[in-house]
Structure 1
């Protein structure tokens, strides 16, 4: 399985997890919320919104167009800080994000 295939699979795993635990929103955020210049759009979106509306679709666009994947990629450290310690799916979400990050680290070896 190629790195692109593994990344796509991990993105599907993340989406499924968000949907199963009702963190998947039906209505897109307003357009101006996507103009943030902050990492993870911290000033305009909640952390799980950013996964749904920014990370997942942008990564799929790269994959669909056979574009190179980012070289420096690590989202799990942000989510370790951003998700509350008592968030019910915290550990599960972090595990999926760590697995996603590992795909990019593995690609370097």
Structure 2
């Protein structure tokens, strides 16, 4: 239960850091773009769009329904690369790094 609360807080923190870095999108991608079968929808979405419209909603759904969490996560390194040119990206990467640690059970909190 503690892990679910921590993850819920992290989803909010990721959203807040994306907003602060001006990475939050006003409009949702098209249904066709969301239907991509490529990992992270890399062929149809920017990484920040994937975070906002796929990752965050999916994690919130898992948390709210006490669903099965992923066994591991390594999103932060991808975020560092995908957001390399984005000002203010470090807070987003840091929150995703916290998420990766929390999922893997290596979070010191």
Give the TM-score normalised by the residue count of structure 1.
0.89
Q: Output aligned runs, 1:21-40, within 5 Å.
A: 21-40=21-40
For 1:105, the equivalent position in structure 2 comes to: 104
Q: Output aligned runs, 1:5-84, within 5 Å.
A: 5-84=5-84
Aligned-pair Cα RMSD in Å: 1.5
Q: How far apart are residue 90 of structure 1 and its match?
A: 2.4
Work out whether residues 20 and 88 of structure 2, in 8 Å CA contact, stay in contact via their aligned partners in 1.
Answer: no
**Number of residue-to-residue matches in the alignment:** 106
Runs of 4+ aligned structure 1 residues displaced above 4 Å come to none
**Unpaired stretches in structure 2, ≥5 consecutive residues:** none
> CA–CA distance in 2 between the matches of 1:17 and 1:9?
12
Give the TM-score normalised by the residue count of structure 2.
0.89
**Unpaired stretches in structure 1, ≥5 consecutive residues:** none
Q: Secondary structure at the match of 2:105?
A: helix
> CA–CA distance in 2 between the matches of 1:20 and 1:80?
17
